[in-house]
């Protein structure tokens, strides 16, 4: 069956559809010996498709991973500056997978990874607005800030709002908030907290919809259960 090349590359676990488009634009993909063009279709069963000179012949086992990302790792497949990436934590899998969505370098917690392009596209698509819940350790005037965080606010010219904000614990030095958001814009919670003059000391994602990080240790991963996969794609 003929399909767009970026869809084929994504389904094969080579890259996300967006990254696959970059591979095509940069001339890394060929079909039957001819450099591919963006928007081109092919049939993986009939055509010889190469990525960086390697024929797509291996059909990987589809993998669905939950990783507890520690602080200090970046959420990318590779880094030209030599920084630690989440790929270092799943290297023993023996199959190429990639992150679904992002957590910034200083954030930690639940990160989904897969080699199933369709699954990644469904989970990460903005229209789905999966509710993501974070445990946020902050310093500042929490009582005044919570009331404001619960209301819509502008972040990077976009109107955003928290689905839920709860005070979990408070001491004389800091407090722990539980904040849920649906949009998931770049560093959204950090910017929301900055808007209400809260200093973020740590930030950990603890769930995506009803799929929870639980007791998984930092730097460790496990396979998603069938029921978790179903919940994420509903």
Q: Quick one: pLDDT at residue 182?
A: 87
Is the predicted pLDDT of residue 12 greater than 80, yes or no?
no
Is the predicted pLDDT of residue 58 greater than 70, yes or no?
no
Q: Quick one: pLDDT at residue 69?
A: 98
- Sign of the Cα torsion 217, 220, 222, 228 reads positive
pLDDT per residue over 143-174, tens digit each?
899 999 999 999 989 899 888 999 999 999 99
Domains of the chain with bracketed CATH: 3-55 (3.10.290.10), 64-127+212-233 (3.30.70.580), 131-208 (3.30.70.1560)
pLDDT per residue over 177-216, tens digit each?
999 998 878 899 999 999 999 999 999 999 999 999 999 9
Catalytic positions, written as ranges = 104
Q: Quick one: pLDDT at residue 57?
A: 67
Residues in Cβ contact with 178 at an 8 Å cutoff, skipping those fewer than 6 apart: 133, 134, 135, 136, 164, 165, 166, 168, 206
Question: What would the two tokens of residue 97 be?
Answer: 């997978």
Residue 65 in contact with residue 39, Cβ under 8 Å? no
CA–CA distance, 138 with 23 (Å, rounded to integer): 41
pLDDT per residue over 83-134, tens digit each?
999 999 999 887 789 999 889 999 999 999 999 888 998 898 777 778 999 9
What b/e string do you get for 161-193 counting C-beta neighbours within 10 Å, with b at 16 or more?
ebeebeeeeeeeebbbbbbbbeebeebbbbbbb
Strands 108-114 and 199-208: parallel
Strands 162-170 and 199-208: unpaired
């Amino acid at each position: 069956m003929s399909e767009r090349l970026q869809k084929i590359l994504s389904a094969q676990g080579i890259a996300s559809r967006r990254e696959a488009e970059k591979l095509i634009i940069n001339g890394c993909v060929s079909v039957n010996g001819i450099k591919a063009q963006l928007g081109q279709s092919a049939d993986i069963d009939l055509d010889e498709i190469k990525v960086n000179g390697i024929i797509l012949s291996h059909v990987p086992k589809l993998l669905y991973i939950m990783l507890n990302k520690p602080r200090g790792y970046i959420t990318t497949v590779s880094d030209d500056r030599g920084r630690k990436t989440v790929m270092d934590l799943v290297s023993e899998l023996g199959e190429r997978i990639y992150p679904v969505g992002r957590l910034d370098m200083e954030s930690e917690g639940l990160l989904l990874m897969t080699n199933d392009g369709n699954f990644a596209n469904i989970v990460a698509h903005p229209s789905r607005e999966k509710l993501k819940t974070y445990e946020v350790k902050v310093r500042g005037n929490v009582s005044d800030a919570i009331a404001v965080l619960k209301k819509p606010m502008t972040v990077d010219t976009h109107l955003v709002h928290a689905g839920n904000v709860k005070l979990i614990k408070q001491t004389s030095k800091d407090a722990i908030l539980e904040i849920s958001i649906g949009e998931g814009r770049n560093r959204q919670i950090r910017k929301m907290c900055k808007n209400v003059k809260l200093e973020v000391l740590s930030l950990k994602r603890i769930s995506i919809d009803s799929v929870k990080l639980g007791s998984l240790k930092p730097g460790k991963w496990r396979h998603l259960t069938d029921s978790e996969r179903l919940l994420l794609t509903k």
